[in-house]
């Protein structure tokens, strides 16, 4: 049976948090368990450098933190090939060839990139590396003959861009060596930050990390945004936009209990302290084994696993690169 | 004594012609003879693909023709490292890192690139690979710690762009591993085409190739643009803009004889046929030994030399890449 290749990854710009856990890690663990899939997980340091090249240590120092997070949540290097992007130089070479198959106006029109450029304040001074990261992603996707790419809704234009390059390459050289990828749109939206902002992230300092101490978790839960009009315990409270309930929905294992809590809160008579205690207990239970498992790996073990699996990823990428070179005709010495 | 590294190269998009001979090949042979220089000559197939990716065979098939031309004119692989760009993948990796150090507006402002985009009709649909070729050139220049780059006046902006990336990289990482290059502006301008157009080139079909047969040389000389108002032998003729005299200036070894011919032509009494016979004899004498030497190399010999010297170039590029990676911090396994 041919396995379908699934590629996911993270930009290493800090430890992983609960947003990553519900947004992608759980999904990866599920996919890894199915025998029909061959999973690759990329630690995208080269991509992260495109908007962090002035502080590379932020990226390079996060690589092993993220690897530790992966293993702690249960990504199994026996089943999933975890690799570091920069250590597969074939990806850079594919990127250079693919740059010929995309026009500047097409890159500038990419909605995902446009939004990110605005967020980063890059509009007037766009680093070319950042503008080109969708081409680098095409190299990542095609190098492993990826068929499925789990993505958020907002990343769909990146898969479209990749498939466009694939089609144009295949058409130009009358070949089918490159494969189009199918996006697997995740049902879970982004996890909000503890402050109620749209996205939990390290830079906004509003995320609960998988590696947070019990005290940090408790402090962050008790700092969560709830309903500003819910002043007295007896007041009716709002559940929509209330971060505690958003997190209970995402992490509490008993849906019925959460529904009952919501009803009481909306009716009046359930205080913020009480629901925060419940959420705190939920998250402590979830994160304790992950935090403990994080400590069971030595740096050398992480290093060995990463080196072995990056080497395995490289062999696959080398083969694809060889096919691409041969297709273009860049083979001079036999 | 430390040798100064000199880098030159050609896009392999056809055999070399007399324009290359006076414009760069002679200069390379001179530089190669001086012990203070270490010469690299790059066959820039990856760069040539940026505007020829739809017909790669035009590029890949020219690589060995150009190598044959190099050896035939006297570029000596014992003294000059001749290599194929695509076979030094470290250059692609350096390119990807350098893309972070240049903004889109800076690339778009590059006068050399602007002119070329207009010439190629790319204005509305710019392939990103082509727009980025100055960054790829920065990789070529820095990979070998190049100090001198012989260029035409019109290519000066490319060296400026490269030096800007070098300075920005070194400043960002507080290092001096990358070296700025000094342009060595060639005194000889571009050789006009036999039709009097500004540039002899394969695509305009107005060039005399180093490999042209004696018959082809004669036919091309006799098709040369002279002075359209010089109808009868006895008429005074113009020397300026007269291609035959431009070529006599460039290739005839006896300046005094050329000066005497010009005077007679301007005075009247010297026919086009006579000056074309003189130029034909001059070019036949120049090109016969080159053409014969071209035939003395088997394909296998060219292949062996290229493979050996590309390998030598790669070792140098690998070391630079290693330094760049270490500077950024992309070293995870020791």
Cβ distance B50 to A306 less than 8 Å, yes or no, reads no
Distance, in Å, from the CA atom of B39 to the CA atom of B41, rounded to the nearest integer, reads 7
Distance, in Å, from the CA atom of B321 to the CA atom of A257, rounded to the nearest integer, reads 58
Place of tokens 């997070």: A69
pLDDT of residue B167: 98
Looking at CA atoms only, how far is residue A280 from chain B in angstroms? Answer: 36
Cβ distance B101 to A127 less than 8 Å, yes or no, reads yes
**pLDDT (average), residues A145-160:** 93
Site from B12, B90, B129, B140 to mutate, A interface, most A CB atoms within 10 angstroms: B129
Cβ distance B53 to A328 less than 8 Å, yes or no, reads yes
| Residues B184, B84 share a domain | yes
Distance, in Å, from the CA atom of A109 to the CA atom of B223, rounded to the nearest integer, reads 50
A12-21, A194-203, B67-76, B119-128: least confidently modelled range: A194-203
Looking at CA atoms only, how far is residue A334 from chain B in angstroms? Answer: 9
**Number of domains composing chain B:** 2
The yes-or-no verdict on residue A249 having pLDDT over 80 is: yes
Residue of B244, B294, B301, B309 lying closest to B15 (CA atoms): B294
- Give A28-37's long-range contacts (Cβ < 8 A, gap of 24+): A28/A75, A28/A80, A28/A150, A29/A73, A29/A74, A29/A75, A31/A6, A31/A150, A32/A75, A32/A76, A32/A79, A32/A80, A33/A79, A35/A1, A35/A3, A36/A1, A36/A3, A36/A4, A37/A3, A37/A4, A37/A5, A37/A6, A37/A148
| A205 Rama sector, left if φ>0, alpha if ψ -120 to 50, beta otherwise | left
Tell me the sheet residues that pair with B279: none
User: Mean pLDDT of all residues in chain B?
Assistant: 94
The yes-or-no verdict on residue A198 having pLDDT over 90 is: no
Distance, in Å, from the CA atom of A116 to the CA atom of A114, rounded to the nearest integer, reads 5
The yes-or-no verdict on residue B201 having pLDDT over 90 is: no
| Residues A312, A279 share a domain | no
Q: Please state, as a whole number, how many other Cβ atoms lie within 10 Å of the Cβ of residue A85.
A: 26
3-class secondary-structure state, position A47: helix
Q: Is residue B154 part of a domain?
A: yes
In terms of Cβ atoms closer than 10 Å to its own Cβ (0-12, 13-18, 19+), residue A296 is exposed
pLDDT of residue B1: 65
User: Mean pLDDT of all residues in chain A?
Assistant: 94
pLDDT-above-70 percentage for chain B:
100
| Residues A219, A187 share a domain | no
3-class secondary-structure state, position A4: strand
Distance, in Å, from the CA atom of B260 to the CA atom of B267, rounded to the nearest integer, reads 11
Provide the total of helices (H) and of strands (E) in chain B, helices listed first: 16, 5
Distance, in Å, from the CA atom of A8 to the CA atom of A24, rounded to the nearest integer, reads 8
Q: Contact B222/B256 with Cβ under 8 angstroms? A: no
Give me the CATH number covering residue A56: 3.40.50.620
B131 to A196, B137, B150, B255: CA distances (angstroms): 42, 12, 22, 43
Distance, in Å, from the CA atom of B110 to the CA atom of A245, rounded to the nearest integer, reads 55
3-class secondary-structure state, position B74: coil
Confidence at B320, pLDDT banded by 50, 70, 90: very high
Looking at CA atoms only, how far is residue A110 from chain B in angstroms? Answer: 14
pLDDT of residue A162: 97
Q: Is residue A200 part of a domain?
A: no
A149-158, A216-225, B164-173, B315-324: least confidently modelled range: A149-158
pLDDT-above-90 percentage for chain B:
85
What's chain B's length in residues? Answer: 334
**What would the pLDDT profile of A1-34 be if each residue is shown by its tens digit?**
689 999 999 999 999 999 999 989 999 999 999 9
- Give B164-171's long-range contacts (Cβ < 8 A, gap of 24+): B164/B102, B164/B106, B165/B98, B165/B101, B165/B102, B165/B135, B165/B138, B166/B138, B166/B142, B168/B101, B168/B102, B169/B98, B169/B101, B169/B324
Cβ distance B96 to A95 less than 8 Å, yes or no, reads yes
Q: Supply the ipTM of this predicted assembly.
A: 0.93
Q: Is residue A333 part of a domain?
A: no
Provide the total of helices (H) and of strands (E) in chain A, helices listed first: 16, 5
Residue B89 or residue B192, greater confidence? B89
CB nearest A104 (choices: B50, B63, B126): B126
Confidence at A334, pLDDT banded by 50, 70, 90: confident
Q: Is residue A334 part of a domain?
A: no
A45-49, A105-109, A202-206, B103-107: least confidently modelled range: A202-206
Q: Give the distance between the most distant pair of CA atoms in chain A.
A: 82
In terms of Cβ atoms closer than 10 Å to its own Cβ (0-12, 13-18, 19+), residue A189 is middle
| Residues A218, A164 share a domain | no
Helix runs in B15-101, H state only: 18-20, 26-33, 45-49, 56-60, 62-73, 90-98
Q: Contact B39/B28 with Cβ under 8 angstroms? A: yes
Q: Contact A210/A17 with Cβ under 8 angstroms? A: yes
Q: Is residue B198 part of a domain?
A: no
Residue of A123, A106, A211 lying closest to A162 (CA atoms): A106
Residue of B332, B330, B323, B266 lying closest to B144 (CA atoms): B323
Q: Is residue B204 part of a domain?
A: no
The yes-or-no verdict on residue B200 having pLDDT over 90 is: no
**What would the pLDDT profile of B31-65 be if each residue is shown by its tens digit?**
999 999 999 999 999 999 999 999 999 999 999 99
Q: Which secondary-structure segment (H or E) carries A150?
A: strand A148-151
CB nearest B127 (choices: A46, A100, A306): A100
pLDDT-above-70 percentage for chain A:
100
| Residues A159, A42 share a domain | yes
Residue of A43, A40, A21 lying closest to A31 (CA atoms): A40
Q: Is residue A116 part of a domain?
A: yes
- Partners of residue B136 in chain A, C-beta under 8 Å: 96
| Residues A49, A150 share a domain | yes
Which residue does chain B place closest to A170, by CA atoms?
Answer: B54
- Give A26-32's long-range contacts (Cβ < 8 A, gap of 24+): A27/A150, A27/A186, A28/A75, A28/A80, A28/A150, A29/A73, A29/A74, A29/A75, A31/A6, A31/A150, A32/A75, A32/A76, A32/A79, A32/A80
**pLDDT (average), residues B74-84:** 97
Q: Please state, as a whole number, how many other Cβ atoms lie within 10 Å of the Cβ of residue B252.
A: 19
The yes-or-no verdict on residue A179 having pLDDT over 70 is: yes
Tell me the sheet residues that pair with A183: A149
Looking at CA atoms only, how far is residue B321 from chain A in angstroms? Answer: 11
Give me the CATH number covering residue B256: 1.10.240.10
Distance, in Å, from the CA atom of A90 to the CA atom of A144, rounded to the nearest integer, reads 11
Strand A182-185 and strand A148-151: pairing? parallel
pLDDT of residue A200: 74
**What would the pLDDT profile of B130-141 be if each residue is shown by its tens digit?**
999 999 999 999
| Residues B124, B78 share a domain | yes
- Partners of residue A54 in chain B, C-beta under 8 Å: 172
- Partners of residue A303 in chain B, C-beta under 8 Å: 332-333
| Residues B274, B164 share a domain | no
DSSP letter for B288, please. Answer: H
| Residues A220, A81 share a domain | no
DSSP letter for A97, please. Answer: H
Residue of B73, B72, B67, B5 lying closest to B34 (CA atoms): B5
Range(s) of the domain holding residue A71:
4-191+298-328
pLDDT of residue A1: 65
- Give B192-196's long-range contacts (Cβ < 8 A, gap of 24+): B192/B243, B192/B246, B193/B243, B194/B220, B194/B221, B194/B223, B194/B224, B194/B225, B194/B243, B195/B223, B195/B224, B195/B225, B195/B243, B196/B225, B196/B241, B196/B243
Distance, in Å, from the CA atom of A208 to the CA atom of A194, rounded to the nearest integer, reads 8
Tokens, residue B277: 């016979």
Q: Is residue A283 part of a domain?
A: yes
Confidence at A205, pLDDT banded by 50, 70, 90: confident
pLDDT of residue B30: 94
Distance, in Å, from the CA atom of B257 to the CA atom of B47, rounded to the nearest integer, reads 42
| Residues B234, B164 share a domain | no
| Residues A263, A279 share a domain | yes
**pLDDT (average), residues A299-323:** 97
Q: Contact B154/B188 with Cβ under 8 angstroms? A: no
| Residues B221, B126 share a domain | no
pLDDT of residue B121: 83
Q: pTM of the predicted model, to two decimals?
A: 0.94
Residue of A39, A130, A129, A120 lying closest to A76 (CA atoms): A39
Q: Contact B197/B190 with Cβ under 8 angstroms? A: no
Cβ distance B84 to A132 less than 8 Å, yes or no, reads no
The yes-or-no verdict on residue A201 having pLDDT over 80 is: no
Distance, in Å, from the CA atom of B280 to the CA atom of B269, rounded to the nearest integer, reads 20
Instruction: State the angle between helix axes of A214-222 and A272-294 in degrees (0 to 180), rounded to the nearest 10.
Output: 150
Residue of B311, B332, B5 lying closest to B142 (CA atoms): B5
Q: What is the DSSP string of B167-198?
A: HHHHHHTT---S---EEEE-SS-PPPPTTS-S
């Amino acid at each position: 049976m041919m396995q379908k290749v699934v590629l996911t990854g993270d930009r290493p710009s800090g430890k992983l948090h609960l947003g990553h856990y519900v947004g992608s890690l759980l999904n990866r663990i599920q996919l890894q368990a199915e025998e029909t899939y061959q999973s690759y997980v990329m630690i995208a340091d080269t991509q992260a450098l495109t908007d962090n090249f002035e502080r590379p240590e932020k990226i390079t120092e996060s690589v092993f933190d993220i690897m530790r997070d992966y293993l702690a949540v249960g990504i199994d290097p026996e089943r999933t090939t975890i690799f570091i992007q920069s250590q597969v130089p074939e990806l850079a070479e594919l990127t250079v060839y693919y740059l010929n198959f995309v026009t500047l106006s097409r890159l500038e029109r990419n909605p995902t990139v446009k939004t990110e450029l605005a967020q980063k304040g890059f509009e007037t001074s766009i680093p070319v590396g950042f503008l080109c990261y969708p081409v680098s992603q095409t190299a990542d996707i095609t190098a492993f003959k990826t068929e499925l790419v789990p993505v958020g809704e907002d990343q769909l234009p990146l898969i479209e861009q990749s498939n466009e390059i694939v089609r144009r390459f295949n058409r130009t050289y009358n070949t089918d060596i490159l494969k189009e990828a199918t996006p697997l749109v995740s049902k879970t939206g982004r996890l909000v930050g503890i402050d109620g902002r749209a996205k939990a992230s390290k830079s906004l300092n509003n995320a609960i990390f998988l590696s947070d101490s019990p005290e940090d978790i408790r402090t962050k839960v008790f700092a969560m945004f709830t309903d500003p009009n819910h002043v007295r315990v007896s007041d009716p409270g709002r559940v929509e936009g209330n971060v505690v309930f958003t997190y209970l929905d995402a992490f509490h294992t008993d849906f019925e209990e959460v529904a009952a809590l919501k009803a009481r809160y909306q009716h009046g008579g359930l205080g913020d302290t009480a629901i925060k205690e419940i959420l705190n207990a939920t998250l402590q239970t979830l994160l304790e084994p992950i935090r403990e498992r994080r400590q069971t790996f030595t740096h050398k073990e992480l290093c060995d696993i990463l080196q072995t699996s990056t080497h395995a990823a490289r062999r696959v990428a080398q083969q694809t690169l060889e096919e691409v070179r041969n297709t273009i005709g860049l083979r001079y010495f036999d």
